[in-house]
Amino acid sequence: MNPDKPMPPVAAEPQPDLAQYRDRKRWWWLLSVVFPLLPLAGMAAHAASGMQIALGLPLLISFGLMPLLDYLIGEDESNPPEAIVPQLEADRYYRWLTWATVPLHYVALIGCAWWVGTHSLSWWAVLLFAYVAGTGSGLGLNTGHELGHKYNRIEQWLARLVLAVPAYGHFTVEHGRGHHRWVSTPQDHASARMGESIYRFALRELPGGIHRAWHIEKERLTKERSSAWSIHNTMLQSYAITALLQLGLVLAFGWLMLPFLAVHNMVAWWQLTSANYVEHYGLLRARLPSGRYEAPQPHHSWNANHLVTNLATFHLQRHSDHHAHPSRRYQSLRHFEQLPQLPSGYFGMFPLAYVPALWFRVMDPRLLALPHVQWELSRVNIDPRRREAIYARYGKA
């Protein structure tokens, strides 16, 4: 053996302290399970106070208290030891939590519909509570997101069930086989561009998702010699459950369910649009000499380690590791150094995005200062409509 030749790396034996690792957040993940029931707090506040405005209490908690707690408690940058990840992923407790969350989304929507259908409420109170219910069902898209990335029959069906609540049955197809392929490129309608307001983004993202999902599913079924309109279409399976659920609510509680459910559905979709907008704003994957895009890396997604919001959303905000390793379960997602970091959790970022001038003022300099961008606009996904204005402002930075 040549003594000058370096020895090949040898896998280290697991250390005793790794075998004894315990997830300090193990029981706190229950917050993700119960958080979809937050709209019921509005019902309780209304019952206790008799004031219809109290129905909006969940909005104050989500977009007021949660960002405040994120600010006060701060971020959690801890990672599980990599040697323990297989054991962590095999722990059924974590997947049971996502499974248990699915029926709670049905409980929340049916409970809200019952409250509206059995109480004499002003028209504005009905719309307010529909908005509250929609924000709760928007979390169902997050539950469906976690389940839809798991390739077993049970979790795939649970994803379709929970996505049926806000009538978003195409999401698993579109997200897994569309968005993850084209993320952070100009071709992806679910990746926001620098200078693009969330309202312009929604005009691309909402219809684009349904169109791309239908095309992908139709292509799959054609290869299997099935019709796109067959019972094997996973989108139609979820939409059929939506029809049963929401038509059942109309029959049970009357015509008032029509505007209530319309607002509920649109608000739930808006929640996903808000998440998509903040998750990849302005980030761009480089073109390789072959003309293809580089593989998605952690720095192609905005990350947030804010503890409280992550505990309420199954670690959705550790989005950088998720896009680099989509099959990782939420409890194993990691923090990396030098990542694009959001200044707040999602519940703080959403309201910021709703004021485009404020969003651009906060996020554009943060985007351009990223280590892999370094104020070079050719490394940014820019809205073509704003290209000249952006180059005029930042081109010489």
Residue-wise pLDDT for 166-178, tens only, equals 999 999 999 999 9
Query: Given a cut of 70, is residue 371 above it in pLDDT?
Result: yes
The mean per-residue pLDDT over the stretch 203-216 comes to: 95
CA–chain centroid gap for 191, Å, is 13
Instruction: Please tell me which residue, 308 or 7, carries the higher pLDDT value.
Output: 308
Residue percentage of the chain with pLDDT more than 90: 91
Question: Does residue 3 fall inside a structural domain?
Answer: no
Buried b or exposed e, range 260-278, using 16+ CB within 10 angstroms: bbebbbbbbbbbbbbbbbb
Write the CB contacts of 383 (distance below 8 Å, at least 6 apart in sequence).
193, 194, 195, 196, 200, 390
pLDDT of residue 396: 61
pLDDT of residue 56: 98
Question: Does residue 7 fall inside a structural domain?
Answer: no
Any bridge partners for residue 382, and if so which?
Answer: 194
pLDDT of residue 85: 93
Cβ contact 174:358 at 8 Å: no
Q: What are phi and psi of 283, to 5 degrees?
A: -80, 145
Question: Does residue 17 fall inside a structural domain?
Answer: no
Query: Given a cut of 80, is residue 2 above it in pLDDT?
Result: no
Any bridge partners for residue 293, and if so which?
Answer: 287
Distance CA 94, CA 104 (A): 16
Question: Does residue 11 fall inside a structural domain?
Answer: no
The mean per-residue pLDDT over the stretch 94-107 comes to: 97
The mean per-residue pLDDT over the stretch 361-386 comes to: 96
Write the CB contacts of 393 (distance below 8 Å, at least 6 apart in sequence).
none
Q: What residues make up the domain containing 244? A: 23-394
pLDDT of residue 284: 97
- Domains identified in the chain, total number: 1
State the pLDDT confidence band at 21, using cuts at 50, 70 and 90: confident
Q: Three-state SS across the chain?
A: CCCCCCCCCCCCCCCHHHHCCCCCCCCCCHHHHHHHHCHHHHHHHHHHHCCHHHHHHHHHHHHHHHHHHHHHHCECCCCCCHHHHHHHHHCHHHHHHHHHHHHHHHHHHHHHHHHHHHCCCCHHHHHHHHHHHHHHHHHHHHHHHHHHCCCCHHHHHHHHHHHHCCCCCCHHHHHHHHHHHHCCCCCCCCCCCECCCHHHHHHHHHHHHHHHHHHHHHHHHHHCCCCCCCCCCHHHHHHHHHHHHHHHHHHHHCCCHHHHHHHHHHHHHHHHHHHHHHHCCCECCCECCCCCECCCCHHHCCECCEHHHHHHCCCCCCHHHHHHCCCCCHHHCCCCCCCCECCCCHHHHHHHHCCHHHHHHHHHHHHHCCCCCCCCHHHECECHHHHHHHHHHHCCC
The mean per-residue pLDDT over the stretch 22-27 comes to: 91
Question: Does residue 164 fall inside a structural domain?
Answer: yes
pLDDT of residue 18: 44
The mean per-residue pLDDT over the stretch 307-316 comes to: 97
For residue 47, count other CB atoms closer than 10 A to its CB: 11
Distance CA 286, CA 186 (A): 11
Residue 20 CA: distances (Å) to CA of 75, 90, 167: 24, 15, 43
Question: Does residue 15 fall inside a structural domain?
Answer: no
pLDDT of residue 8: 37
pLDDT of residue 304: 96
Q: What are phi and psi of 234, to 5 degrees?
A: -65, -30
Instruction: Please tell me which residue, 50 or 4, carries the higher pLDDT value.
Output: 50
Write the CB contacts of 277 (distance below 8 Å, at least 6 apart in sequence).
192, 198, 201, 205, 353
Question: Does residue 123 fall inside a structural domain?
Answer: yes
pLDDT of residue 14: 39
Angle at 303 between CA 302 and CA 304, to 5 degrees: 135
pLDDT of residue 4: 44
Look over the chain and give the mean of its residue pLDDT values, rounded to a whole number.
Answer: 93
Question: Does residue 14 fall inside a structural domain?
Answer: no
Any bridge partners for residue 287, and if so which?
Answer: 293
Distance CA 196, CA 236 (A): 32
The mean per-residue pLDDT over the stretch 229-235 comes to: 95
Q: pLDDT of 314-358, one tens digit each?
A: 999 999 999 999 999 999 999 998 899 999 999 999 999 999 999
